[in-house]
Structure 1
């Protein structure tokens, strides 16, 4: 009989690449994780790991078993969701990971609404960008991730994760006061090919959106300043350090004197935001409450004109 707890260690090793990192994600010591893996190899009667110096990787048999571990984990999530649905009343804790603007515009209002609807439910929130959301979700450190579509999108090629579009929002240009295009009703990005640009750091999904928009306008932006804080981005625009594309929902709290905000002509850059949960957990009543709350606040965001309809 295979111990499912040991399968969890194998799955973590497949995710993290080293025994130490896998052990850390499961709150185990490296020696305890190694013992679990050795016991699993004894149980199945096959070598699951190929050791190369200080590193290990899964053998073909190990990869097959790790794939089964993924399915078993999803079934266990489903069992927990079904048991929770049978329990009387709704009480407990839900942890949500989201990027800063989504926390401000969607997650925090959802927390307020949920507190009135189900006061016995506690929502914990973690600020996380990009690839960090996926890691927190698959490691079980959060129950729901609110993330932006990008190259390492959580769930795009991971059958452990179930995704759902939440909302999409356009980007607007932030220009320094006195810029030659400051009075234009709309701005063609191609007209800014000679300007210095301010973007988030590579790895931030917004950085990818900006680069793609400029590529579609047939130029490579000359990035001179980098910041993941949109307040800092707008401050640098105000200081004349360059131009920037900023998500519309971030503008009400970041726009400064010394800048002008203009829409982009033609096809406007857009970021697509979605929710992600571990497959099998979506029927858990606490998660259903949290997801319903996020959907309601995303709809309110569209009504306020800061977002657009969700799309895949």
Structure 2
């Protein structure tokens, strides 16, 4: 009989690539992971790992069994969902991981929404960007992830996660006072080709969106300042250090005195999605949380009109 707990260890090794990383994900010591894998090899009667010095990799048999481990994990998720569905009422705990703007604009309002409707449900919220958020979800450290769709997140957990579009938000141009385009109703990205730019660090999904938008407009932005903090970005724009493209929801919570915010012609947008582990979609707590996230995302769209001109401050 194969111990499903050992299958979980094998799956973690397949997902993370090393014994040390798998141990960290499972909150075990590397020696404990090695012992569990050795016991699993004894149970199945096949070598599951090839050891090359300090490194290991899965054998063909190990790869096959890791695939079954993912299927077993999915079936266990379904079992928990079915058991929860027959329970009376909606009660329990849901863990959500999301990037900071989504926490501010969607997750936190959803928690307040849920408190009025099901006070027996509690939420744990963890700040997590992109691929890291999906890793927390896959490792069982979160029940729901809210992430931005980009090349990194699209490549993560394609087979084991169930995704659903949540909202897409436009980017607005943030300009310093006295900028020649300050009086325009909207700004063309090509009109900013000669400006200095302020962007997030490479690796941040917003950085990728900004660079693609500039490339589509026919130029490479001259990046003078870099920050992942949109409050800092606006502060730098206010003192004339450059211009920026910022997601609209990130601007809504900032005091923007000293900058001009204008909509962008053909504005790029960032698509945001929710993800849960496959097999858990029937769980009433997850359905409840996703319903709340969808409702608050719809509210966000209503709060973000097509033109932010009337909300700009100089």
Residue in 1 that maps onto 2:192: 192
C-alpha distance in structure 2 between counterparts of 1:264 and 1:174, whole Å: 10
SS at match of 2:151: coil
CA contact (8 A) 1:147 1:274 kept: yes
CA contact (8 A) 2:225 2:241 kept: yes
Residue in 2 that maps onto 1:278: 277
Deviations 1:23-82 (A, max 9, x none): 111121111110111111122222211222222121222122111111111110000000
Deviations 1:118-173 (A, max 9, x none): 10110111111121111100010000001001111157662110000011110000
Distance 1:4 1:155, change over 3 A: farther
- CA shift, 1:17, in A, is 1.3
Which blocks of at least 5 consecutive residues in structure 2 are unaligned? 307-314
Moved more, 39-48 or 4-13: 39-48
C-alpha distance in structure 1 between counterparts of 2:157 and 2:73, whole Å: 17
Moved more, 78-87 or 178-187: 178-187
CA contact (8 A) 1:93 1:124 kept: yes
CA contact (8 A) 2:248 2:304 kept: no
1:50-89 aligned within 5 A: 50-89=50-89
The two structures have a TM-score, normalised by structure 2, of 0.94
CA contact (8 A) 1:154 1:161 kept: no
Moved more, 87-96 or 48-57: 48-57
Aligned length: 306
Moved more, 78-87 or 152-161: 152-161
C-alpha distance in structure 2 between counterparts of 1:279 and 1:224, whole Å: 43
CA contact (8 A) 1:172 1:261 kept: yes
Residue in 2 that maps onto 1:310: none
CA contact (8 A) 1:110 1:293 kept: yes
- CA shift, 1:244, in A, is 0.6
C-alpha distance in structure 2 between counterparts of 1:160 and 1:255, whole Å: 40
C-alpha distance in structure 2 between counterparts of 1:176 and 1:212, whole Å: 23
- CA shift, 1:207, in A, is 1.1
Residue in 2 that maps onto 1:269: 268
C-alpha distance in structure 2 between counterparts of 1:64 and 1:54, whole Å: 23
C-alpha distance in structure 2 between counterparts of 1:84 and 1:99, whole Å: 28
CA contact (8 A) 1:196 1:222 kept: yes
* CA RMSD, Structure 1 to Structure 2 (Å): 1.5
C-alpha distance in structure 1 between counterparts of 2:230 and 2:252, whole Å: 11
- CA shift, 1:255, in A, is 4.8
CA contact (8 A) 2:131 2:156 kept: no
Residue in 2 that maps onto 1:135: 135
Distance 1:294 1:173, change over 3 A: same
Aligned pair 1:218/2:200, yes or no? no
The two structures have a TM-score, normalised by structure 1, of 0.94
- CA shift, 1:253, in A, is 2.1
C-alpha distance in structure 2 between counterparts of 1:2 and 1:222, whole Å: 58
SS at match of 2:253: helix
Aligned pair 1:171/2:176, yes or no? no
SS at match of 1:95: strand
SS at match of 2:95: strand
C-alpha distance in structure 1 between counterparts of 2:33 and 2:157, whole Å: 27
Residue in 1 that maps onto 2:24: 24
